[in-house]
Amino acid sequence: MVAIAGRQVEFRWGNDSPMDEIPGVREKGIELNGEPIDITSDDDNGWRALLSIAAENQVNISLSGVSKNARLRNDWFAGNRLEPARITFPDGSVISGMFFLAAFTETATYNAAMAFEATLNSSGTVSFTPGSPA
């Protein structure tokens, strides 16, 4: 995999067409989770055995940056917390689906720019389209 700068990864949010890019984002994190199904029995001689499929899959997105608009705060208070989201990588890979704005934090310290953090949790199927290999 070719090294990339984090600023080259694009996050977009909302039902607008085109979807909005949230200004001020500095960090984007993606967590992929699959809850295992334990099928251990006496036949496994004390070793845990897991089914090859997950009981539940989920994708979590974390964002942080400098507050440059109130889009995420406004959506949280307006109840617009379940929206389409998309992450696009420089190689053209795309992760997209419906995401729930689970947490939003703003911090306004005395001598620094107001910052924000947000956590989004997938709801329903999340699609992944692989990009071009480098």
Position 6 scores a pLDDT of 82
14 domain residue, yes or no: yes
Mean pLDDT of the residues in the chain: 92
Position 1 scores a pLDDT of 61
Structural domain for 41, as ranges: 6-129
134 domain residue, yes or no: no
Share of the chain above pLDDT 90, in %: 82
Could you give the C-alpha distances from 97 to 23, 50, 79, 117, 128, in angstroms and in order? Answer: 20, 27, 18, 20, 9
Position 2 scores a pLDDT of 72
DSSP H or E run through 77: helix 71-78
56 domain residue, yes or no: yes
Residues forming beta bridges with residue 82, ordered by sequence position: 100
Asked if the peptide bond before residue 18 counts as cis, ω within 30 degrees of 0, the response is: yes
pLDDT digits (tens, 9 = 90+) for 29-73: 999 999 999 999 999 999 999 999 999 999 999 999 999 999 999
User: Can you tell me the distance from the alpha carbon of 1 to that of 22, in angstroms, rounded to the nearest whole number?
Assistant: 27
Contact residues for 53 (Cβ-Cβ < 8 A; gap 6+): 37
1 domain residue, yes or no: no
| CATH number where 70 lies | 2.30.110.20
pLDDT over threshold 90, residue 7: no
Place of tokens 């090859």: 52
32 domain residue, yes or no: yes
85 domain residue, yes or no: yes
22 domain residue, yes or no: yes
* pTM (2 d.p.): 0.88
Could you give the C-alpha distances from 36 to 3, 32, 55, 68, in angstroms and in order? Answer: 31, 13, 6, 40
- Give the chain's domain count: 1
